[in-house]
């Protein structure tokens, strides 16, 4: 870890000013990912601005029936807030599927969005190749050990996945992210927040370097009664997803009025499967229609030497999650 200056700020404006015009400054929130990467010399800030004391820790109702999640509310508090548990059980489940209780007590909602990939080649500078860590150096995973890597939306430059569970549920629930920069506030759909790697895998998100996440806003949801977060991993708890599925259904009797499906562990961003959602709408929920929809989620999927299994796993994961959401199992 290289030496760094540490500074605590208590207002969003001061936080934004502290990173403006400063190349090597980073915000510090829960630190569960940043400090880890600093120990590995992957992240090398020379200044940390501690934002944990900003007044952005609240979880509150919005006038339109939605809920605002403060960027600095901890993942554990968010998962356990009655508003989240009762209006968005899918999100509570996804949060509780992630990490460990200790880490969830530290990790913030904003920080969860900004988690970096768990690709081995990114995490360890001993590997010469990683376009995300050292642009232009190549991708070690492409021909290497790529069991945990992407099957959708990857590029020759990068096949890393985004590791979050929370973000998969947020993508399914049409959340938006409220940001503050030097020129004021703006809002971005959750599905636009993370990027596909393309030729610039070193850029994870569409957040500007001088912007601060203020909150994650959830619209009113018709999905509380029928949703399920499925996480498939190497051990029953405290492991990253090989494949995860957030499935939510709005039912009108036996018929599907609307559906939301997003996958984790398969791409550089939470993977919303809108074609599959459309397939379900207006039809009675049956094993056949679920299978058709599930196959649509992996259209264009490409496996690599060690992760080919993920394509079938994603299909079966979507089938299972939809059946759970619809009360069929």
Partner 1 sequence: MNLTSKTNTQNNRGEHCDGQPEARGETALASQDDFASRPSKSREDITRREFVVTAGVIGGGLALGLPHLASSVGGGSGLAIAEESAPAHVMNVQLRINGNMQSLSLDSRVTLLDALREHLKLTGSKKGCDHGQCGACTVLVNGRRINSCLSLAVAHQGDEVVTVEGLARGEDLHPVQTAFIEHDGLQCGYCTPGQICSAVAMLDEAKNGAASFVTADLAKIGPAKLDDDEIRERMSGNICRCGAYPGILAAVRSVYKDGEKAEMRSGS
**The pair of three-digit structure tokens given for residue 91, joined into one six-digit string:** 């999100």
Is 92 near partner 1 (CB under 8 A)? yes
Question: Which residues between 16 and 45 bind partner 1 (CB under 8 A)?
Answer: 28, 31-32, 35-36, 38-41, 44
Q: Which is nearer to partner 1, 145 or 224 (CB)?
A: 224
- Rounded to the nearest whole angstrom, what is the least distance from the CB of residue 287 to partner 1 in the complex? 24
Q: Which is nearer to partner 1, 31 or 222 (CB)?
A: 31
Q: Does 125 bind partner 1 (CB under 8 A)?
A: yes
Long-range pairs, 61-66, Cβ under 8 A, ≥24: 62/217, 62/218, 64/219, 64/220, 65/219, 65/220, 66/217, 66/218, 66/219, 66/220, 66/221
d(CA 144, CA 126): 14
Residue 103 binds partner 1, judged by CB under 8 A: yes
By CB under 8 A, is residue 67 in contact with partner 1? no
Residues 17 and 12: their CA atoms lie apart, in Å, by 9
Cα separations (Å) of 149 from 10, 87, 112, 235, 316?
A: 39, 32, 19, 17, 18
Q: Does 233 bind partner 1 (CB under 8 A)?
A: no
Q: Which of residues 163-182 bind partner 1 (CB under 8 A)?
A: none
Q: Which of 24, 187, 206, 237 binds partner 1 (CB under 8 A)?
A: 237
Query: In the complex, what is the shortest distance from the CB of residue 296 to partner 1, in angstroms, rounded to a whole number?
Result: 28
* Cα–Cα distance measured from residue 80 to residue 75, given in angstroms and rounded to the nearest whole number: 9
Site for partner 1 in 262-291 (CB under 8 A): none
Q: Identify which of residues 131 and 244 has a Cβ nearer to partner 1 in the complex.
A: 244
Q: How many residues bind partner 1, per CB under 8 A?
A: 45
Query: Residue 127: which residues within 8 A CB-CB, separation 6 or more?
Result: 120, 121, 140
């Amino acid at each position: 870890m290289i030496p760094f200056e540490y500074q605590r700020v208590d207002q969003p404006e001061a936080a934004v000013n502290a990173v403006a015009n400063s190349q090597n400054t980073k915000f510090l929130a829960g630190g569960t990912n940043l400090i880890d990467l600093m120990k590995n010399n992957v992240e090398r800030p020379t200044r940390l601005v501690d934002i944990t004391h900003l007044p952005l820790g609240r979880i509150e109702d919005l006038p339109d029936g939605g809920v605002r999640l403060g960027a600095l509310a901890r993942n554990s508090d968010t998962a356990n807030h009655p508003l989240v548990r009762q209006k968005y059980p899918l999100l509570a489940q996804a949060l509780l599927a992630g990490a460990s209780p200790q880490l969830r007590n530290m990790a913030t909602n904003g920080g969860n969005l900004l988690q970096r990939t768990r690709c081995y080649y990114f995490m360890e500078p001993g590997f010469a190749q990683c376009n995300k860590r050292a642009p232009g150096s190549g991708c070690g995973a492409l021909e290497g050990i790529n069991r945990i890597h992407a099957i959708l939306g990857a590029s020759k430059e990068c096949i890393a996945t985004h590791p979050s569970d929370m973000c998969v549920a947020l993508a399914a629930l049409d959340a938006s992210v409220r940001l503050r920069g030097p020129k004021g506030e703006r809002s971005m759909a959750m599905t636009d927040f993370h990027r596909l790697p393309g030729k610039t895998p070193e850029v994870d998100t569409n957040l500007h370097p001088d912007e601060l996440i203020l909150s994650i806003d959830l619209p009113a949801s018709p999905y509380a009664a029928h949703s399920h977060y499925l996480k498939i991993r190497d051990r029953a708890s405290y492991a990253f997803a090989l494949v995860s599925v957030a499935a939510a259904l709005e039912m009108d009797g036996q018929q599907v009025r609307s559906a939301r499906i997003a996958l984790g562990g398969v791409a550089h961003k939470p993977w919303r499967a809108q074609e599959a959602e459309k397939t379900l709408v207006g039809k009675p929920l049956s094993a056949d229609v679920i299978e058709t929809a599930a196959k649509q989620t992996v259209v264009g999927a490409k496996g690599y030497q060690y992760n080919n299994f993920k394509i079938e796993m994603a299909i079966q994961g979507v089938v299972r999650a939809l059946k759970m959401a619809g009360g069929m199992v």
